[in-house]
Amino acid sequence: MRHLLSAADLDVRDAVRILDTAGQMAATQAREIKKLPTLRGRTVVNLFFEDSTRTRISFETAAKRLSADVINFSAKGSSVSKGESLKDTALTLQAMGADAVVIRHQSSGAPHTLAHAGWTNGAVVNAGDGTHQHPTQALLDAYTLRRHLVGDGGRSDVSGQDLAGLRVAIVGDVLHSRVARSNVQLLHTLGAHVTLVAPPTLVPVGVEAWPARVSYHLDEVIADDKPDAVMMLRVQRERMSSAGGGFFPSPLEYTRGFGLDARRLDALPDHAIVLHPGPMNRGLEISADAADSPRAVIVEQVANGVAVRMAVLYLLLAGESPAPTTTKVDA
Ligand code: CP
């Protein structure tokens, strides 16, 4: 693996290797080995053209826990506001020596261009591009599903598909969601059955070609499918207004039809868990009851994101050996 640009780039073997390595990373953290020497002397650049809390901080934490040097770049307050291009920004950061570039960009395809245009010699990791892809989010979601519904070690069945047979409902603003696109691909690769649940206005054109079923009725999906997990999506109002579109259905209609509340939570199977990539619109796609319930693993998703991103950086920059060294550097 030279870059991580899309969940579609990962076959079962790649995905399971990342999840297993994340498990090893989490185990070292649980043993209070806070810092591994694995990436000492390597530089990771976080290149963020779009706002982020979880992804940016967890990539920074992951890189530091592997002893890498970290350069954080945010478009706000940089020469991007004077009109500097992605190419010139990337060349400038390359001049400072980047072994990996973690990029978030509002334009779908920007990480692909960065990886293939020769503007950096480093490994490129897509931290979210437009409405296109967010592969490390899908990996941390798969890791969280595996921990709760399968077991830390995965299934290890003959197919190698760690989430084989799990039923996952992905609910909400699918149209604007790179999280949904990445998850549909990765969950399919890992053997899960995905149902997308959304109002017709928030379903993308061409969804028939995705490896997922589509429903417009959340209550029916909960009653009939009995999902093992529901993944609530953020309603991306900023992308609706920038596209010149309004919010339809209205927020009230949306919440009635597609919001996860205490009633719908009670209707889920006892073992079912609730995921949300964050940031949440409390009271819109998810009620406070649901967000704060014991079934919600939303805060744990954030913690798992550090282990998964450590695994991705480790596998991209330190090669293929299966087990990370656990030599303690400092606590
Ligand atoms: N899940 C996610 O990408 O959150 P941030 O926008 O805070 O990084």
Q: How many CB atoms sit inside 10 A of residue 2's CB?
A: 9
The reply to whether 226 sits in an annotated binding site is no
The CA 327 to ligand 1 mean position distance, Å, reads 31
List the catalytic residue out of 28, 55, 144, 195. 55
Are residues 194 and 128 both part of a single domain?
no
Q: What is the pLDDT of residue 241?
A: 62
Are residues 155 and 297 both part of a single domain?
yes
In a domain, 322, yes or no: no
Are residues 247 and 139 both part of a single domain?
yes
Query: What would the mean pLDDT of 213-219 be, rounded to a whole number?
Result: 98
Kindly indicate the confidence band of residue 331, based on its pLDDT and cuts at 50, 70 and 90: very low
Q: Give catalytic status of residue 2 as yes or no.
A: no
Cβ burial of 279 (10 Å; 0-12, 13-18, 19+) is exposed
How many whole angstroms separate alpha carbon 305 and alpha carbon 279?
A: 14
Q: Cis before residue 111, ω within 30 degrees of 0? A: no
Kindly indicate the confidence band of residue 320, based on its pLDDT and cuts at 50, 70 and 90: low
Q: Is the pLDDT of residue 233 over 90?
A: yes
In a domain, 2, yes or no: no
Order of strands, sheet of 123-129, starting from the edge strand that comes earlier in the sequence? 69-74, 43-48, 100-105, 123-129
Q: Is the pLDDT of residue 163 over 50?
A: yes
Query: What would the mean pLDDT of 189-218 be, rounded to a whole number?
Result: 97
Are residues 249 and 186 both part of a single domain?
yes
Query: What would the mean pLDDT of 147-176 be, rounded to a whole number?
Result: 85
Are residues 12 and 105 both part of a single domain?
yes
In a domain, 94, yes or no: yes
Q: How many CB atoms sit inside 10 A of residue 35's CB?
A: 17
Q: What percent of the chain has pLDDT over 90?
A: 81
The reply to whether 161 sits in an annotated binding site is no
Q: What is the pLDDT of residue 152?
A: 72
Kindly state the tokens that stand for 167. 């039923």
Q: Is this complex scored with an ipTM above 0.90?
A: yes
Q: Is the pLDDT of residue 188 over 80?
A: yes
Q: What is the pLDDT of residue 52?
A: 96
Q: Is the pLDDT of residue 244 over 80?
A: no
With tokens 């998850």, the residue in question is: 183
Are residues 147 and 173 both part of a single domain?
yes
More confident residue, 2 or 159: 2
Q: Give catalytic status of residue 82 as yes or no.
A: yes
- Whole-number mean pLDDT of the chain? 92
How many whole angstroms separate alpha carbon 72 and alpha carbon 127?
A: 13
Q: Is the pLDDT of residue 237 over 90?
A: no
Query: What would the mean pLDDT of 121-143 be, rounded to a whole number?
Result: 97
Kindly state the tokens that stand for 76. 């706000």
Q: What is the pLDDT of residue 326?
A: 44
Are residues 42 and 77 both part of a single domain?
yes
Q: What is the pLDDT of residue 173?
A: 96
In a domain, 231, yes or no: yes
Instruction: Check: CB of residue 63 under 8 Å from CB of residue 39.
Output: yes
Are residues 22 and 114 both part of a single domain?
yes
Q: What is the pLDDT of residue 330?
A: 43
Alpha helix locations (H) across 8-134? Answer: 12-30, 54-65, 86-95, 110-116
Q: Give catalytic status of residue 55 as yes or no.
A: yes
List all residues whose CB is within 6 A of at least one atom of ligand 1. Answer: 52-55, 128, 137, 277-279
Q: Is the pLDDT of residue 239 over 60?
A: yes
Are residues 158 and 254 both part of a single domain?
yes
CATH at residue 148: 3.40.50.1370
Domain count across the chain:
2
Kindly indicate the confidence band of residue 321, based on its pLDDT and cuts at 50, 70 and 90: very low
In a domain, 119, yes or no: yes
How many whole angstroms separate alpha carbon 258 and alpha carbon 326?
A: 45
- The H-or-E segment that residue 257 falls in is helix 251-258
Ligand 1 atom at minimal distance to the Cα of residue 56:
8
In a domain, 327, yes or no: no
Phi/psi at 95 (5° precision)? -60, -25
Query: What would the mean pLDDT of 161-179 be, rounded to a whole number?
Result: 95
Nearest to 138 by CA among 105, 130, 146: 146
Name the 3-class secondary structure at 30: helix
Q: Cis before residue 249, ω within 30 degrees of 0? A: yes
Name the 3-class secondary structure at 80: helix
Domain that holds residue 62: 7-133+302-317
Query: What would the mean pLDDT of 256-260 be, rounded to a whole number?
Result: 97
Instruction: Check: CB of residue 282 under 8 Å from CB of residue 311.
Output: no
Q: How many CB atoms sit inside 10 A of residue 208's CB?
A: 8
Are residues 90 and 59 both part of a single domain?
yes
In a domain, 204, yes or no: yes
Q: What percent of the chain has pLDDT over 70?
A: 92
What residue's CA is closest to ligand 1, atom 1?
A: 277
The reply to whether 55 sits in an annotated binding site is yes
Are residues 257 and 151 both part of a single domain?
yes
